[in-house]
Structure 1
């Protein structure tokens, strides 16, 4: 309660958990009842974390009518209270996650799925160090056609993309200043901002941290915050994979290394090539990649991004210092030797994404199998095995992949497959315009 005691102006709190799509699901509660939430938690039906992108129940889910739609227990995460500075009235957010009434973690909760992977690393005496790169578009969605919003400074609209352009950043300086101030209030470690390759597209990097759960929290909260702050300025911020046909889409790249019990980076052996553990991790990532594609590209629109020559990988391969590769080993000081995973779109659930990557890497470290040789040159010109090319193929590959079954519980796999099959069915009824309208704010 110390945070609330220091902020007596806060009259309401939101308690929220991430569903399988990463959508926040929760309740609005008067702040005077915060003591009860902290000590007793709150209750949601299990099915709330297993809704489709429209917020509808999954029609054939055993969590709903078959079992009477029972309640689960949701307790605060270690994050605690934080402000919601994009709201008009002083409010606080309390992140929560799901347990069975007897206190056991609920396996269908995405955050619990990541905690399970973190526990596997701890049991092996290892600690992953994680950072994410958050790409998003700012969009004027007030008319029938999506456009880049006018600059709050000049009132003018940009007419072209400018990669790493200070002018493009400065045109929205008020927005970015506000966003960084809010990140500081929420303890989100936002670092460098750049303008990206598409019109109105930007990227903000998160600092590396030896706590994958906090890294996932930060990515989830950053998406929520960025959308809220953008609306303060009269435009939308969207993490949709590809809002425009003519521009490249948005990714959510992840960098990671792994420390042993003495704090040494197990990917570093004093050479640019890296240690055997790095290659073993890469092997695990490559073997799991076909099955993991549904995690990295969870929506229909995601597959518009995964096309050749569009700054997103399509082939299953790895390389040193090569941004056409799905798995890139960046140039760095030896002690900072790390892996960059470049497949995921901005529309992912960060908890599932980080769990899928770290889980597959640990599988590889445990199996000690070397990957195929790293390639050189343009990945799009290589004869590489390809990612599933359609949403339908990705769903079925995920459902049957043995590597995925080593990472996620069968319960979560079943829930996600049912969710995506239902979405696939009903998305066929939408026009292109309705698809954009659906995904623009939800993902």
Structure 2
């Protein structure tokens, strides 16, 4: 045996590189990312790596469309009608990385699911994103993508009222918000240092870290990469890293969209530009707004209402959408305007880009990036013109029109020809089935606030 791999067994370059960084690994966690962005897979002995790269790993196809509680969604037709059959998952090239927060030397590996015929399985969010990227490639452009993720930190134990509470070292008396405060970062320096080291060990290009508007709320940005699949991979791995490092410090890291109704929520902003074969930014132009950029904005706005369910995929997601909360309420755009759904940051022409501000941090990064790129493709190929830009507060000038209720968002998604075209008719049906199942389960739960309001009153 050498580094946990049998002597004489041929290993891939990815495995060789991993073993060079992680001597004598004991195990590897191999996983796909399901409809809700949750990692699901298996832990294998490191000696299984050559076999995994050669033959893949079998998982039930239904694994990709489990609901948020991990329950099967029978309405998809992937359970009894198929015998809950396995599909083969193969490693994503270049994704074998160390597991830096583990007490034992180990690794993690992203997988992608194929059909029995060897094609991309339509229920894998990563495959959906790859399909949209390919359509943009046919136009001769490559998307350059970066994500910004907000999250909250909480004590491991809830407060006396059962509600989550920010860690004591992150709170300051008399104020809930210390936006961009540096003392708020220093008080949790040990945790953030571990996150930075873990990102470096995995090759994740973490950039700036800031304290956000609420107690124990932070944002970590990833630098842009000219590979949307890699950008989404990195967002998935960053979320996993933050949560794992927080656990090691006795804390809970949450990407829940709106933990408290009266405090700021957690968003996932996506920055996108397009470069041509000569690496020129096609969003840049001699005029203030190039034709390509204008049509990209038009396509994103025209399809925003029917795809809200991707950006707000849970019941709690819709608590983010409140006037004056830096969360968009309608399909709007503006130059350096954070009240709009699409912000065009002030930048030199070579850095011209769109900041998509609709999604919550609870959304699936693969589906969000696929949705953004699909809207851009739709706008460019259809020469879709946007409405006039919004100057000043969008909340005061444009009536709210994005779906503000989960059932409404699911229905708009389910009847959308745009979704069927870019994400696939099959996935449109599976996604809606999963979200309906989650919604019906939550509708049966009566919250304490309703007992307080109604039980002894009416």
TM range (shorter): over 0.9
1:2 paired residue number: 16
- The answer to whether 1:233 aligns with 2:233 is no
> How much does 1:369 deviate?
2.0
Please give the alpha-carbon distance, in whole angstroms, between the structure 2 residues aligned to 1:61 and 1:413: 10
1:98 partnered with 2:113: yes
SS at match of 1:43: strand
- Structure 2 Cα separation of the partners of residues 322 and 303 of structure 1: 22
Aligned equivalents of 1:12 and 1:176: distance in 2? 26
Q: Which residue of 2 aligns with 1:28?
A: 43
Q: Residues 86 and 431 (structure 1 numbering): CA distance in 2 closer, same or farther, change over 3 Å?
A: farther
Q: Which residue of 2 aligns with 1:331?
A: 346
Cα offset, 1:3, TM superposition? 3.1
1:146 aligns with 2:182: no
In the alignment of these two chains, the number of paired residues is: 431
Secondary structure at the residue paired with 2:242? helix
Q: CA deviation at 1:394?
A: 0.3
Deviation digits for residues 209-265 of structure 1, max 9, x if unmatched? 100000000000111110000011111110000111220101000111001122111
**In the TM superposition, what are the counterparts of 1:212-361 in structure 2 within 5 Å?**
212-271=228-287, 273-361=288-376
Larger radius of gyration: 2
State how far apart, in whole Å, the 2-side matches of 1:399 and 1:116 are. Answer: 20
SS in 1 for 2:391: coil
- What are the Cα deviations for residues 394-413 of structure 1, in whole angstroms up to 9, with x where unaligned? 00000011222232111111
TM-score for the superposition, normalised by structure 1: 0.94
2:184 matched to which residue of 1? Answer: 168
SS in 2 for 1:425: helix
Residue 360 of structure 1 aligns to a residue whose secondary structure is helix
Residue 8 of structure 1 deviates from its aligned partner by 3.0
Contact kept, 8 Å, 2:19 with 2:25, in 1: the verdict is no
Kindly state the Cα deviation for residue 90 of structure 1 after the two structures are TM-superposed. Answer: 1.6
| Preserved contact between residue 150 and residue 157 of structure 1 (Cα < 8 Å) | no
Alpha carbons of 1:177 and 1:357: their partners in 2 closer, same or farther (altered >3 Å)? same
Counterpart Cα distance in 1 of 2:172 and 2:334: 41
Runs of at least 5 residues in structure 1 that lack an aligned partner in the other structure = 435-443
Deviation at 1:19, TM superposition (A): 0.4
Partner of 1:439: none
> Does structure 1 retain, via aligned residues, the 8 Å contact 2:18–2:98?
no
Deviation at 1:295, TM superposition (A): 0.3
Give structure 2 stretches of 5+ with no counterpart.
1-14, 450-458
SS of the residue 2:157 aligns to: coil
